Homo-oligomer: A and B are copies of this chain.
Amino acid sequence: MKENRYDDDLFFEKYSQMERSKKGLEGAGEWQTLRPLMPDFKGKRVLDLGCGYGWHCIYAAQHGACRVKGIDLSEKMLERARREHAHPAVEYVRCAIEDVDEPDGSYDVVFSSLAFHYVEDYGQLVKRVCRMLDTGGVFLFSVEHPVFTAYGSQDWYYDADGSILHFPVDNYYYEGKRDAVFLGEKVVKYHRTLTTYVDTLLKNGFELTCLAEPKPPEDMLDLPGMKDEMRRPMMLILSARKV
């Protein structure tokens, strides 16, 4: 199912109030982990799957990418991307991640930030990305961590007084649809095991070059709720190379 939650007015408004939406890359807790993993973009052809406001597209262009295509299903996202992150080398196109179809070997870098947990068929996606990448090309993406998606609600488990007890994991090996709550709204996400995320890459033409689980950077630990984020992993970043 290709759900377009981000074109819902209320959801979009809430999303636009997040630190990452207002401050961009520097406002995203995972940026300090992700930035060193960004490939050399000089002269590269880049595809961003689920580009949102275009923060990463503009980053790639400003770091020398010769051509960047950002795709997203949300027209509201793309409007803002075109308005605020326009660049001669960047093109924003409305398209679902599942429907992307570009010529074989037409990209050097395929990037995606926190979007693949909305995609039902990860195996098909990996195969397609491999096909669209040139040999030696980089596939770098972040996704919600399997620990974070397994249970469903994505909320902590609390005691009677409302204090956090721990984070619940359940139904880990049952992959598929979860009714998650994000920004107080219901959103459909797809849970997959770590095995599926990593081994599908290894079995489909990729070599894994990095696995990282971003934790809150030291200088953000004093922000509200950030210390709790040392208690569970929320994101997984994988970097792979087409062999």
Tell whether, in the assembled complex, residue B170 and residue A168 are in contact, meaning their CB atoms are under 8 Å apart. no
Tell whether, in the assembled complex, residue A168 and residue B165 are in contact, meaning their CB atoms are under 8 Å apart. yes
Q: Which among B172, B195, B230 is the interface contact of A173 at CB below 8 angstroms?
A: B230
Q: Which among B166, B194, B209 is the interface contact of A157 at CB below 8 angstroms?
A: B166
Tell whether, in the assembled complex, residue A168 and residue B166 are in contact, meaning their CB atoms are under 8 Å apart. yes
Residue A31 CB within 8 A of the other chain? no
Q: Type the 1/0 row for A202-228, where 1 means its CB is closer than 8 Å to any CB of B.
A: 100001111111010000000000000
Residue A176 CB within 8 A of the other chain? no
Tell whether, in the assembled complex, residue B210 and residue A170 are in contact, meaning their CB atoms are under 8 Å apart. no
Tell whether, in the assembled complex, residue A166 and residue B173 are in contact, meaning their CB atoms are under 8 Å apart. no
Q: From DSSP, what is the main secondary structure of chain A's interface residues?
A: mixed
**Interchain nearest-CB distance for A95 vs B (Å):** 31
24 contacts between A and B (CB under 8 A): A147-B169, A157-B166, A165-B168, A166-B170, A168-B169, A169-B169, A170-B231, A170-B232, A171-B230, A172-B230, A172-B233, A173-B233, A193-B233, A194-B211, A194-B213, A195-B212, A195-B213, A198-B198, A198-B211, A199-B210, A202-B208, A202-B209, A202-B210, A208-B208
Taking A172-B232, A195-B212 as given, write out 8 further A-B residue pairs in contact, using a Cβ cutoff of 8 Å, ordered by the A residue number.
A157-B157, A166-B168, A168-B168, A169-B232, A173-B213, A173-B233, A194-B211, A199-B210
